[in-house]
């Protein structure tokens, strides 16, 4: 079995005149991302690979999560994650090498939230706030489809 961690970027600043891709994390976002990493460490989850959107806020989220984990997992910045729909994210995950047992995907809503709902066949009224992550148990990366994952855990900064 594989483990897929789906993480929405942490809280980002709204800076007038700054392009969306360039928005940095707020101080709270930095703290929340570090706490997410610490939580993953407590859960015994260290990604073998991180797939990350190219936006500043997602790259910073990945950095703070890995710092909280105390891990130096390789980070692949994938341009297609930015503004991706769930099916596009699933296709990207499906191309993951079989050697990767734990994968961390850092992206944006609504795509990441929809990916979790599609893989687990659930409807989630609580949403997927900034900094939230879901831990899913999956089969082979290349064979994933709707209903092929089991939700093991879910974490949001406000709940913890």
Q: What is the pLDDT of residues 92-133, one digit of tens each?
A: 999 999 999 999 999 999 999 999 999 999 886 678 999 999
Pair 152, 137: CB distance under 8 Å = yes
Exposure string (b/e) for 42-66, b if CB count within 10 Å is 16 or more?
Answer: eeebbbbbbbbbebbbbbbbbbbbb
Task: Break the chain into its structural domains and give their ranges.
Answer: 2-155
For the full predicted model, state whether its pTM sits above 0.85: yes
Strand partners, 103: 4, 49
What architecture is domain 2-155?
3-Layer(aba) Sandwich (3.40)
Average confidence (pLDDT) per 10 residues, the chain, 160 residues: 98 95 98 98 98 98 98 97 97 97 98 96 84 97 96 92
User: Token digits for 60?
Assistant: 């910073």
What's the CA gap between 145 and 148, in Å, rounded?
A: 6
What's the CA gap between 65 and 138, in Å, rounded?
A: 22
**Average model confidence (pLDDT) across the chain:** 96
Instruction: Please tell me the predicted confidence (pLDDT) of residue 127.
Output: 83
């Amino acid at each position: 079995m594989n483990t897929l961690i789906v993480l929405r970027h942490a809280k980002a600043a709204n800076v007038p005149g700054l392009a969306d891709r360039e928005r940095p994390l707020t101080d709270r976002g930095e703290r929340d991302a570090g706490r997410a990493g610490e939580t993953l460490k407590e859960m015994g989850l260290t990604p073998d690979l991180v797939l990350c959107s190219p936006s500043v806020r997602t790259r910073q989220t990945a950095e703070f999560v890995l710092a909280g984990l105390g891990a130096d997992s390789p980070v692949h910045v994938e341009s297609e994650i930015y503004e991706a729909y769930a099916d596009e994210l699933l296709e990207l995950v499906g191309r993951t090498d079989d050697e990767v047992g734990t994968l961390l995907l850092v992206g944006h809503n609504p795509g990441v939230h929809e990916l979790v709902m599609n893989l687990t066949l659930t409807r989630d009224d609580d949403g997927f706030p900034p900094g939230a992550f879901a831990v899913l148990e999956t089969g082979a990366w290349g064979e994933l489809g709707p209903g092929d994952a089991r939700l093991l855990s879910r974490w949001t900064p406000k709940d913890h």
